[in-house]
Structure 1
């Protein structure tokens, strides 16, 4: 296989980087405007079926700024052997005056060319690519067509369709104006082909299309029948023909079989002259999607049940606390109940959102509401606010942070304002600050500040011990308590890696 008609080794470089993408080549080495470049990107995004239907390699050429012919696109067929083992994108073509002629407006051209290593002549058809009436590129299809071999029904049908598509490329109606070229898993020719006439009657079905129809329960010969008898809704056919735009529909047989139909109208002078229907068996894909939906629902249900169980344990602790007369024991049970509710809040969010990750703010808001409702005395109000947006974290990280923040907010409310006047302005601010790969959480109050001689490492309080343990052991972070740098009060600072 050769590429003797190309300048070998003359690759396009920008700042030492080889330009192999269509976008870079068009932007840096052509004078095409944005709409024209977008037209070519859309063509390349959906030109796989054209290569398959023509049984040939497709090459896309355009005029460079210096008027040389530049190769900007290449695709190989899945229905035939390729003529090129090498990548030609980014090379300048030479000794091909007919490419230049088409770029200059010569119209569709068919020539016979030779290729190194191929004994038979190669048929090359060059099609002008028009956008808004202007030729912006040339599309070449190259394939070996032996004159001594008779063509079969499949080959005749494919070549007839691609001739219509090439005519649409030449008049600017392909690629379609209304289409999503990034549609996931679009069918290709090898998956199955149905050719429709202008009235929606089936003119041809490929062997793979026949097999696909059998899987959805259609066992009679489809040729000569209207596509609506196969299962394509009439309004889908009318809409595709009326808009001149592709549409997708799926034929299903229970939950075990799903066949995707991609209908491409073949336009002639603004009217639908027929359609190409590409088929694809998506049964396994739909089965996997249903499985994922089922798994997601199961995960949500598990989080919901865990939340309910934790709330039950929390309620039992509160009930036990109401029956205890010893103040210290009562306080310990209440604090244990609150800590369990903090973890339950994470599972409540996950039961609504699904998945294993959660937005930290979605957990922090109910934690603040819980602490504010349980600990703040209406006679001595404390304003608790949250500033900043936290990251999305795993459920495990969220659970640990929920307990940590609950403890720090509670500590600020209970100990930060001891001895302050009843009419004092009391506030606790939770600040979330993501700094690169680290998250810094600050819980600041404007209260009385740290007691004299305070040492976090020797403080006997259970709350700060829990915070220190969770931060360092579970989250792999650091924890410190310092005077509030922005005024009176205290700042508790937690830093963790994300």
Structure 2
């Protein structure tokens, strides 16, 4: 047994040599305790990750055991064994709480902390099977008949405390719960307390630390208890009408779970966007390898254009993978499209200055991808055809927000062209039209002449949220 304890403690806990020896010494007492109590006895130690692990056990020799097999080396989850979690968190004993075993059975647990040099190094656990419905443990009549004025006052006006969406506990001068409303009773039952908490010592059921000997100021804490998140407010009353403490608490598990789910969803979306970006870049790399192998100039050009289009889509997912929410800055996306265009289509005989200006827009992935692909095509067309016979040119990308429609304006000072004479099977222009009309639900306007070309993309504001960005 000692070797097993040492191995488990070294592998899963942060206990030092001296602390491990204390656990080994405590383990030697488990069998006599199990026989004397006619119950299963365990020692759990806290893992580095937060859960507890069973390092030693003993079954009663003349009484039924709660377990068929050994559970040494198994984890004790906080949601299944709240008494263990409470004792580790508060450093105090926990009595008669319901637990769910590793074999999916129910037991009643009592837990005592194992202290060494003022540190909790483990817990001693006593467990008994629930073979019959557990009757509530009630105190003697002297407690139920106790003359506490405020207790009677609250009970006479019980409807007031039942109408609030919070738990209320009152603690008397003996340190016992002299009142609890139905919210409190129900919640403690969900937390695993088998008996009604009324007339129980508050020290045995408190969910956050409390020093009854001091006159502490009011405290407000948020605690996690197994799968539950609780907001707890403790108000010392300095023996007013026989009451020394009022405790108000609320179950905030729902809102905290929603926050947690949103965080998990955000992380999942980031990972998904990152993988999409990586896959698109992989496809672009494969096409680039293919382009190097083909002999046809036309085929090589077509592959290179496809690569640029794929990378323009990847840019949007690259930004989405780094964003906190599900939207991305359109200005940053188009900035990357601009830089990629300069790198891929730069020619030594032609110097083109591309500028990006205007308002920023936070848009979702669909808007970002569609706008990026459309602007990518427009920039490629300008770089390839607008400056024939010139050694210098200018292209501007302007973002404008409007009340109903927002606009992306791409202009150049090139030689211009006649839009009505453009081939109907032009892939680049067809991509732009499809992105604007089908994806952005917008309008495409093209103006061109000897002074250059202007392409306006209008899309409805409701597809995006806007933020002001100072230039």
For the criterion TM > 0.5, the same-fold answer is: yes
Give the deviation of 1:259 after TM superposition: 4.5
Give the deviation of 1:478 after TM superposition: 1.8
Provide Cα deviations, 1:159-187, integer angstroms capped at 9, x if missing partner. 999xxxxxxxxxxxxxxxxxxxxxxxxx9
Question: Contact 1:259–1:279 (CA<8 Å) still a contact in 2?
Answer: no
Matches of 2:164 and 2:235, distance apart in 1: 15
Which of the residues 441, 446, 455 maps onto 1:481? 446
Change (3 A) 1:259 1:160: farther
Please state whether the residue corresponding to 1:450 is helix, strand or coil: coil
Change (3 A) 1:376 1:459: farther
Which of the residues 293, 314, 327 maps onto 1:344? 314
Matches of 2:225 and 2:163, distance apart in 1: 19
For normalisation by structure 1, the TM-score amounts to 0.52
Change (3 A) 1:370 1:233: farther
Other-structure match for 1:95? none
Give the deviation of 1:227 after TM superposition: 5.8
| In the alignment, structure 1 residue 464 sits paired with structure 2 residue 429 | yes
Which of the residues 429, 437, 450 maps onto 2:396? 429
Within-5 A mapping of 1:388-427: 388-421=358-391, 424=392, 426-427=393-394
Within-5 A mapping of 1:444-463: 444-445=411-412, 447-451=413-417, 453-455=418-420, 458=423, 461-463=426-428
Matches of 1:471 and 1:427, distance apart in 2: 24
Matches of 1:398 and 1:347, distance apart in 2: 9
Other-structure match for 1:490? 453
Which of the residues 214, 231, 245 maps onto 2:207? 231
Give the deviation of 1:157 after TM superposition: 3.7
Within-5 A mapping of 1:45-84: none
Question: Contact 1:483–1:491 (CA<8 Å) still a contact in 2?
Answer: yes
Give the deviation of 1:201 after TM superposition: 7.7
Other-structure match for 1:119? none
Other-structure match for 2:68? none
Structure 2 portions without partners, runs of 5+? 1-147, 464-471
For normalisation by structure 2, the TM-score amounts to 0.55
Other-structure match for 1:249? 222
| In the alignment, structure 1 residue 334 sits paired with structure 2 residue 334 | no
Change (3 A) 1:410 1:160: same
Which of the residues 203, 206, 218 maps onto 2:181? 206
Please state whether the residue corresponding to 1:407 is helix, strand or coil: helix
Give the deviation of 1:437 after TM superposition: 2.0
Matches of 1:288 and 1:339, distance apart in 2: 38
Within-5 A mapping of 1:131-146: none
Structure 1 portions without partners, runs of 5+? 1-150, 162-186
Question: Contact 2:419–2:446 (CA<8 Å) still a contact in 1?
Answer: no
Other-structure match for 1:22? none
Provide Cα deviations, 1:82-131, integer angstroms capped at 9, x if missing partner. xxxxxxxxxxxxxxxxxxxxxxxxxxxxxxxxxxxxxxxxxxxxxxxxxx
Give the deviation of 1:252 after TM superposition: 1.1
Question: Contact 1:345–1:367 (CA<8 Å) still a contact in 2?
Answer: yes
Question: Contact 2:231–2:251 (CA<8 Å) still a contact in 1?
Answer: no
Give the deviation of 1:336 after TM superposition: 0.6
Please state whether the residue corresponding to 1:494 is helix, strand or coil: strand
Within-5 A mapping of 1:57-456: 156-157=153-154, 189-195=164-170, 204-218=179-193, 221=197, 225=201, 230-233=206-209, 242=217, 247-253=220-226, 255=227, 258-263=228-233, 265=235, 276-353=246-323, 356-377=326-347, 380-421=350-391, 424=392, 426-445=393-412, 447-451=413-417, 453-455=418-420
Other-structure match for 2:113? none
Matches of 2:236 and 2:447, distance apart in 1: 73
Matches of 2:249 and 2:421, distance apart in 1: 68
Provide Cα deviations, 1:256-309, integer angstroms capped at 9, x if missing partner. xx15234164689xxxx9654322334444444444443333333332222222
Q: RMSD over aligned Cα, in angstroms?
A: 4.0
Matches of 1:428 and 1:434, distance apart in 2: 20
